[in-house]
Structure 1
Amino acid sequence: MWPFLLKRLLLAIPALWALATAVFLLSRMLPGTFASERLLQNNAPGYYSKGTEADKQAAYTLYMKRTGLDLPLFYLSVAPANGLPAAQNKLPAESSQIQDRQRSFAYLTPSVSWHGSQNQYHQWLVGALHGNLGESYRTSRPVTESLLEAIGNTFWLLLISMVLTFALALELSIQMIRKKGKWLRRALLPFLFITDSVPSFVLALLLLVFLANPDFLQLFPVYGMGYYTPDQLTAWQEMVQRAYYMALPMLCLVLFNLPYLTNQVYASLHTAMQADFARTARAKGLGESAVVRGHALRNALLPIITIVSDFIPALVTGTFIVETIFAVPGIGRMLIEAVLSRDYPVLTGIVLLIAAFRIVAFVMADIAYAWADPRIRQQTQ
């Protein structure tokens, strides 16, 4: 198992590096920067909006130098060909040089400049390899520190909702596949179909209206994580406080993702129950529960693993939307703020974190494949 795991991780590292490089370069190529929006604009918020143009330009130059944005973007840069200047009104020596360029077609070739290690990408890559993702343009705080503070709420929200959704989908599918589950199928499938057709933000707003509204039932808080500091509470009190504020976002994620996952798991189990091994197990006198849980479920694991590996990235996206609606201080809310303020170091760090999470999910899916079917493990060795 360990060689198999090591092989998958070694394949994931180049993919993660390529994705991080693409995100970094694309974020720097977007029009407009945080400094130009906050320092050079006349209507920009802050102290420099009332300064002179010279003060703004000086502050802008100092900011670009401090953040390293005055350096070239990559190791090399390509300048487009500028064409050939006119030979009229030139000195004889200059006219001769222009004629030489005409004969060699050198004026059609773009100029390539090599910048060495003094570029933005090299500095960011070296820092990222040492765990330093730069500083936020908006808060001037280290990006790694900001991510570590925000990832706690997102991690627990994602983990608990994922476990609850998968456990409910698996148990509901097992109950519906049994002969006694006809009434459950008739009642549950229409509910799942209706819930699946509701967008996540609409579902979140409905939960807020019905479960966090004094006019209906005010069982949960509307938004946020409460006004407290962890030093004021014990570990148990902090856990209860977090659970109280995160109950409604978790319920929203579970209800939004449960229909899709339940339908897929139920279809996989239904296919497994029609196979020959299930009929053989029933012919041997095994009970229905033993056939479903002991035979059909194990053989249905491969498609279920595929479904779950595709389901996890979608759950991450849904978590970001829910965090924004419920004002949960997590990675999703930080991502929205980074996009609106053009805070590219934070944006790059969050995308890198999401990409790493997705690659880890795919590696875990490969490991689960090998565990569920030993033949796959033998083929990869």
Structure 2
Amino acid sequence: MSLILYLLKRLLYTLPLMAGAIAIIFFLIHAAPGDPVDYLIGEAGASQEVVDRLRAQMGLDRPVIVQFGIYAFEVLRGNLGYSVVSGAPVLTLILERFPATLLLMATQYTLAAIIGITLGVVSARRPNSATDNVITFFSLASFAIPVFWLGQMMILIFGYYLDWFPIQGMTNLRKGYTGFAYVLDVAYHLTLPALTLAIYNVGLVLRLTRSSVIQVTGQDYIKVARAKGLSERTVLFKHALRNALLPVVTVIGVEIPGLIAGAVLAETVFGWPGLGRLTLDAINARDYPLLMGMFLFICLFVILANLVVDLLYAALDPRIRYS
């Protein structure tokens, strides 16, 4: 099977997955307590006539199964609806916030992968040594620390006491930077949230890399490489690491939903204007269209990200073919 046919087949598999996601997300959100009309009215109160009119405008006066049929039909047309609070198109709101979340996730996982893989190889080079024990302790500690607590500690230490980094937002709105200065300003604000998530995720990557490298180094082709007189660094990073990365790549694909959940917490702590903050605001406001659009977008992103992970297998291991 060629790569193109494989991609088409995998994309066809996403159709029933997305159909099931639409149904599950819709009924779960509507089963949750709370009402967007109550949020809009607030504590001021309103007559029953006004409440009924608002519910009719939002379509909440119809049976749930009818609401689901209308929503599913609109989604097939590419219409995710309009936010109850802002009145803006849901897709527009998501696409405006997605670049910030993508930047945070890509940066933090790049850092986690680089640090985790490097420390994993160093740890596997001399198992049970003092270096291995220190790295193992670090990996366990990073994996056990909650994201929200770590983020608050980063803010207190590096933002408040040392005053090295900003603690909120994505840019300095007062300065109004443009061009390359704007890029540096974004990177400056990105440092703390990206490091927080990277420290949280580095433990799993490190442990998997260590165990995979130790397992691979016992193979015959590693012994042959050493017998040829190759340096230990070349044997580990060029020969052993490539095959040892397959389990790591697999786990990265499986952990993508967890990464998004961690991003929600980090964005909330650091005031990062991404999908996490948007999701939290939608939950607080019981904004049904925005919540459903957010979850559908995240489902599609997870499916496509796992497809990319599958394609990486062939790049890492030439023995893998899509046939």
Q: Is the 8 A contact 1:73 1:121 kept in 2?
A: yes
| Partner residue in 2 for 1:106 | none
Following TM superposition, by how much is the alpha carbon of 1:178 offset from its aligned partner in structure 2, in angstroms? 3.1
Supply the distance in 2 between the matched residues of 1:341 and 1:203 (Cα, whole angstroms): 27
Selected match of 1:279 from 206, 214, 223: 223
- Over 3 Å counting, the alpha-carbon distance change for 1:319 and 1:262 in structure 2 is same
* 8 A Cα contact 1:5 1:367, kept in partner: no
Show the 5 A alignment for 1:17-166: 17-39=19-41, 44-46=42-44, 49=45, 51=46, 56-74=47-65, 119-166=66-113
- Name the residue aligned to 2:146: 199
| SS state at 1:141 partner | coil
SS in 1 for 2:169: coil
Question: Which of the numbers 13, 25, 29 marks the counterpart of 1:11?
Answer: 13
Rg (Cα) greater in structure:
1
Deviation at 1:11, TM superposition (A): 1.1
Q: How many residues align?
A: 321
TM-score, normalised to structure 1's length? 0.77
Matched, 1:328 2:275: no
State which drifts further: 176-185 or 154-163: 176-185
Check whether the contact 1:175–1:181 (CA below 8 A) recurs between aligned residues: no
Give, in whole Å, the separation in 1 of the partners of 2:257 and 2:28.
22
Q: Is the 8 A contact 1:16 1:356 kept in 2?
A: yes
Is it true that 1:254 corresponds to 2:198 in the alignment?
A: yes
In structure 2, what is the equivalent of residue 84 of structure 1?
none
Instruction: Select which of 371, 374, 377 maps to 2:315.
Output: 371
- Give the 3 Å change call, closer, same or farther, for CA 35–256 of structure 1 in structure 2: same
| 1-structure distance, mates of 2:182, 2:43 | 37
Whole-angstrom distance in 1 between the partners of 2:39 and 2:120: 53
Secondary structure of the corresponding residue to residue 255 of structure 2 = helix
Per mean C-alpha deviation after superposition, the further-off stretch among 257-266 and 22-31 is 22-31
Using the TM superposition, give the Cα deviation of residue 352 of structure 1 relative to its aligned residue in structure 2, in angstroms.
1.0
Deviating beyond 6 angstroms after TM superposition, the runs of 4 or more aligned structure 1 residues are none
1:16 touches 1:359 (CA, 8 Å); kept in 2? no
Gaps of at least 5 residues in structure 2 are: none
State the TM-score, normalizing by the size of structure 2.
Answer: 0.90
Q: Take 2:167 and 2:110, find their aligned partners in 1: how far apart are those partners?
A: 24
Residue type of the partner of 2:197?
L
- Shift, 1:159, TM fit: 0.8
Distance in 2 of aligned mates of 1:224 and 1:372: 37
Match of 2:162 among 186, 209, 217: 217
Distance verdict in 2 for CA 1:225–1:303, change over 3 Å = closer
> Per-residue displacement from partner, 1:292-332 (whole Å, max 9, x unpaired)?
12221222132122122123222211111111111112111
- 8 Å Cα contact 2:40/2:85 also seen in 1: no
User: Which residue identity lines up with residue 219 of structure 2 in the other structure?
Assistant: A
User: 1:179: how far off?
Assistant: 5.1
Query: Percent identity between the aligned chains?
Result: 31
Structure 1 unaligned spans of 5+:
75-118
Structure 2: which amino acid aligns with 1:62? R
Match of 1:100 in 2: none
Q: What's the CA shift for 1:268?
A: 0.8
- Return the structure number with greater relative CO, CA threshold 8 A, min gap 6: 2
318-327 or 194-203, larger mean C-alpha shift: 194-203
String of CA shifts for 1:102-133, please: whole Å, max 9, x gaps: xxxxxxxxxxxxxxxxx322332233233321
Is contact 2:216-2:240 (8 Å) kept? yes
Q: Between Structure 1 and Structure 2, which shows a larger proportion of helix residues?
A: 2
Structure 1 residues 31, 317: closer, same or farther in 2, change over 3 A?
closer
Residue 363 (structure 1) shift = 1.2
1:30-86 superposed Cα distances (whole Å, 9 cap, x missing partner)? 3442114544xxxx335xx2x4xxxx2222222222222233332xxxxxxxxxxxx
Q: Which moved more, 1:318-327 or 1:357-366?
A: 357-366
